[in-house]
Amino acid sequence: MSRLVLVSNRVPDVKERVQSAGGLVVGLGEAVRDTEGLWFGWSGQHRENAVSSDVQIEQLHRVTFATVDLTTDQHTRFYENFANGTLWPLCHYRLEMIRYRREDYESYREVNTLFARKLAPLLQEDDVIWVHDYHLMTLGAELRALGVRNRIGYFLHIPLPPWSVTRVLPCAAELLRDLTQYDLIGVQTEEDRENFNSCFSAIGLFTRVEHFPIGIAPEEFREEARRNVDAPEVVRLMDSLRGRKLVIGVDRLDYSKGIPERIKGFEKLIRRYPQHEAKVVMLQIAPVSRAGVSAYQHLRREVDELSGHVNATFGTFDWTPVRFLTQSVPRHVLAGFHRRADIALVTPLRDGMNLVAKEYVAAQDGDDPGVLILSSLAGAAPELKAALQVNPYDPDQIAEALHLALTMKKEVRKKRWRFLNVEVQRNTAARWAAEFLSVLKEVR
């Protein structure tokens, strides 16, 4: 059986390797579980001069983890500036937020070249290589230039806009040309697939693109939620609510997630439907992410201000309407919170998929489930049609959906949840990985 080689910007850190974390790690972890695997990527360390640094190798069961360091300059230009300051806003349709500098793009190419040079000597003839995400668009072409003839697949976890938007990026055609060196490109949705094809046809090239919506490990998450429904932190949260309904949001603190619009929607709910005043609490968990990028610092201030404004306007001495947390919550506690929450508010302005929506569904008690309010612009929307879908740019729609959810009869909640749960159970992370790899193995 051939070996599977995974390449992603970050490889799971030591803690994540033994306990399951997010969907990507779980999905890929399951994909390598029954085969021998190599997982290659950045160590998470950056130092002044890493050009001559060796590959660090660690073995865990049948998986070899191979990591390299980046220089401080590469970390800034490749990771913060180009990947997260140029490609991320472009792919999330936020043209006004794009910062493009040619030096940053050159650093992006340089890091992809470095990855290829360090990875190539570790490869065996029949390895199947699977490269992940927007940090590594040109890695396939760099490996080909070094003579690597193995099958190489690529999966883009975030959306890809159509050519009319993508062409804004000065190096778009170059990146697309390099992407055609992959044997198969996987994306989350049918729409992303069509967009990729529109981009390739605009530059007169072709490569195979298919959509493979990513899932979670639903059984595992449901068990985690069940086990932790009375965990000390969950009990403390419930006590603090004093019988009020709980609306939960869980997102990296990222401008693609629509957190300000969501708080405005919650504010409109209280204004428009006074019957909910002092009867509902919104808990927004938003661990700080990419704090080195200025747009993220700005967002932090905006959410601070908005939640402070709602609390100062409507709060009473014993009711704080919005609780905004920027610290990460342990996964098992999160699972317990989800099971207890009456509503999940998942309203990204754009999202490749959005695993939180699926985790919330998996965590519910089928006899008394909560309601999922989901952005129609999340990649999960085509699968999760039984959610209350809203346009995330419209706080009025969010307010109406919240009111509907807060007053929804149990029978309706159960019926909607059953439809959602079928989807979440059917399309697991393991299945996602297996389907991508089976198509990759048959192309050419």
Our finding on whether 252 is near ligand GDG (CB under 6 A) is: yes
Our finding on whether 331 is near ligand GDG (CB under 6 A) is: yes
Q: Which stretch binds ligand GDG (CB under 6 A): 241-249, 307-315, 345-353, 413-421?
A: 345-353
Our finding on whether 356 is near ligand GDG (CB under 6 A) is: yes
Which residues are CB-contacts of 149 (< 8 A; sequence separation ≥ 6)? none
**Which one of the listed residues 157, 183, 254, 338 is annotated catalytic?**
157
CB of 424 to ligand GDG, least distance (A): 13
Contact string (CB under 6 A) for ligand GDG, positions 113-142, x = contact: ------------------------------
Amino acid at 281: V
Give, as ranges, the residues between 150 and 169 that touch ligand GDG (CB under 6 A): 157-158
**Which one of the listed residues 127, 254, 342, 351 is annotated catalytic?**
351
Cβ atoms of 348 and 375 within 8 Å: the answer is yes
Our finding on whether 250 is near ligand GDG (CB under 6 A) is: yes
Our finding on whether 328 is near ligand GDG (CB under 6 A) is: yes
Angle between the 331-340 and 355-363 helix axes, to the nearest 10 degrees?
60
Q: Which stretch binds ligand GDG (CB under 6 A): 204-212, 346-354, 402-410, 435-443?
A: 346-354
Would you call 157 a catalytic residue per the annotation? yes
Our finding on whether 195 is near ligand GDG (CB under 6 A) is: no
CB of 71 to ligand GDG, least distance (A): 25
Contact string (CB under 6 A) for ligand GDG, positions 262-291, x = contact: -----------------------x-x----
CA distance 323 to 282: 6
Q: Which helix (H) or strand (E) holds 135?
A: none
CA distance 357 to 214: 12
Cβ atoms of 245 and 280 within 8 Å: the answer is yes
Would you call 351 a catalytic residue per the annotation? yes
Angle between the 218-227 and 331-340 helix axes, to the nearest 10 degrees?
80
Which CB, 81 or 375, lies closer to ligand GDG?
375
Which residues are CB-contacts of 77 (< 8 A; sequence separation ≥ 6)? 103, 104, 106, 107, 108
CA distance 240 to 261: 26
Our finding on whether 334 is near ligand GDG (CB under 6 A) is: yes
Our finding on whether 371 is near ligand GDG (CB under 6 A) is: no
CA distance 298 to 14: 32
Which CB, 135 or 413, lies closer to ligand GDG?
135
Contact string (CB under 6 A) for ligand GDG, positions 70-99, x = contact: ------------------------------
Q: What is the bridge-based pairing of β-strands 63-71 and 56-60?
A: antiparallel
Q: Which of 241, 329, 434, 439 binds ligand GDG (CB under 6 A)?
A: 329
The DSSP line for 398-440 is HHHHHHHHHT--HHHHHHHHHHHHHHHHHS-HHHHHHHHHHHH
- Torsional sign, CA 205, 207, 213, 214: negative
Cβ atoms of 320 and 283 within 8 Å: the answer is no
Catalytic sites, residue numbers: 157, 351
Query: Contact positions toward ligand GDG, by CB under 6 A?
Result: 22-24, 157-158, 214, 250, 252, 285, 287, 328-331, 334, 351-356, 359, 379
